[in-house]
Amino acid sequence: MYSAIDLAPAAVAAEEDETLTPADQIDRIADGKVQAFAGTININAGVYLDDVYAQNKSVAEHAAADYHGRSLIELVQNANDVHERGRHDGQIEVVLVEDEGDFGTLYVANFGKPFTHDNVVALSRIGMSTKPPGESIGNKGLGFRSVSHVCDAPEIYSQAPDAIGASAFEGFCFTFARPEDLSSRIDNPTVLAFAQSDLPMFFLPIALGTQPATISDDAARGFSSVIRLPLRDADSLQTARDEVAALDDETAPLLLFLDRLEKLDAKIRRRSGEVSSAFTLERHEEAIASTPVNASIVTLSGTRWLLIRDHAPEILMQRAVGDGVKAKQLHSSWKDWSGVGEVGLAVPLDHEISSPRLYTFLPMGEGATAPFQGHLHGSFFPSSNRKALDAGVALNRLLLTQAVTLAAASVRWLADRDADRSHPALSSNAQFREDRIRERLAAGMVGVMPFPHMNLRSEPVN
């Protein structure tokens, strides 16, 4: 507990000490954060020396508001990111239990990497992330705060790396202090009053002791981490229902570009105890051999897609990122970009789509329309809520140019009647007409970013 005479450097409390238990490390983080907050207050005068925390609270609330309606998809993104890059067997489980708590409880569990000390610190900071740009979907450190739309005190349960499958979670298990919880952490009445008024949401981590039965069951089933959201009110419950259902949106398939994942299970259990709805999203990808482009067939719960990938070289990505940081288009953390930039084009093989969409791994907002009859993915820098894309940003412009080049190469490949497609899905049958696929890839790309010496548009499809 913090008192006005504690003088140890606050920064020390944020450093990891592996000799401590996860719960003790969480307490140490919290003590340091409270001490840092108290340092902004003139205790004797009862006024702020600097109201930076109140300012951060306002910023956090504005940022969270931008994510309205995307709380669950942001948690799915986080769950995808903790699965190992290069593997394709990740699994996520989403369960809405309507008869648990006053207004129901939402669970999101995964088998990826457990939480670390640094993850706890980053999650309790605004706009900070432990995810390096180029290696994960999310790296702004904002998306998790979207859960504030439906929950006041999210709970995180994570397993110790050497205890996977144990009967309880033994790693970092914590929630965040609400104003009414702060009196147990802060003695000084002046500091307490300011803290209750002005600390940002999800600022102060608090270690969790007891674990609900559902959480213990998840630990025994081998999950590495579970996010538990006790829902705030009836409106939050309806929002959770809507967001669970939206995961199964066939117009913008959730797993299309999430190649770390193999399966997502989702269900809603009503107050009667019955499962009112349940679905499983599955992803399987099979490469097409001997092609001039990186092409594969992706099967998503029965539907098939032609997925063609390319990348922007690392040196061009770093140059575009550098230009973006210099022009204040990108956050300075992006200057550490490493690796290539991804571009992907997805065209349905056995059905039509009504809503072409831009993706940055996950589908962006409905207004982010792809410029052809398919879906376009890139390692873009989208708006903070991932609902829109600014083509004026140097990084986005580079990736869009790369996408046009990829579309052109794909059209040429599909137009080559002598090419070996090496996959039964790419045959002359009713489900795959090369002229239609060429039209889907070419249409719109030319209009968005034409090349003066290249005609991508094929003949109209009857």
Question: Model confidence over 126-166: pLDDT tens digits?
Answer: 755 545 555 544 444 567 888 988 999 999 999 999 999 99
Give the pLDDT of residue 421: 59
Confidence band for 424, pLDDT divided at 50, 70 and 90: low
Give the pLDDT of residue 13: 47
Alpha-carbon gap, residue 400 to 416, rounded angstroms: 25
Token pair of 359, please? 């993706």
Token pair of 200, please? 């940002």
Calculate mean pLDDT across residues 243-250. Answer: 94
Q: Taking the complete model, does pTM exceed 0.85, yes or no? A: yes
Checking DSSP bridges between strand 105-110 and strand 155-158, what pairing results, if any?
unpaired
**SS3 annotation, 179-236:** HHHHHHCECCHHHHHHHHHHCCCCCCEEECCCCCHHHHHHHHCCCCEEEEEECCCHHH
Any idea where the domains of the chain sit in the sequence? 10-285, 288-448
In the chain, the percentage of residues whose pLDDT exceeds 90 is: 59
Over residues 210-229, the pLDDT tens digits come to: 999 999 999 999 999 999 99
Q: Does the pLDDT at position 450 exceed 80?
A: no
Calculate mean pLDDT across residues 313-341. Answer: 91
Domain covering 10-285: architecture? 2-Layer Sandwich (3.30)
Confidence band for 16, pLDDT divided at 50, 70 and 90: confident
Give the pLDDT of residue 301: 85
Q: Does the pLDDT at position 195 exceed 90?
A: yes
20 CB-near residues (< 8 Å, 6+ apart): 28
Give the pLDDT of residue 420: 64
Calculate mean pLDDT across residues 299-311. Answer: 93
Confidence band for 331, pLDDT divided at 50, 70 and 90: confident
Give the pLDDT of residue 145: 84
Calculate mean pLDDT across residues 6-20. Answer: 58
Alpha-carbon gap, residue 26 to 439, rounded angstroms: 56
Over residues 254-268, the pLDDT tens digits come to: 999 999 999 999 999
| Conformational region of residue 339, where left means phi above 0, alpha means psi within -120 to 50, and beta covers everything else | left
Give the pLDDT of residue 443: 60
Q: Which of 175-179, 271-275, 372-376, 432-436 has the largest mean confidence?
A: 175-179
Q: What sign has the CA pseudo-torsion 57, 62, 65, 67? A: negative
279 CB-near residues (< 8 Å, 6+ apart): 247, 248, 265, 266, 267
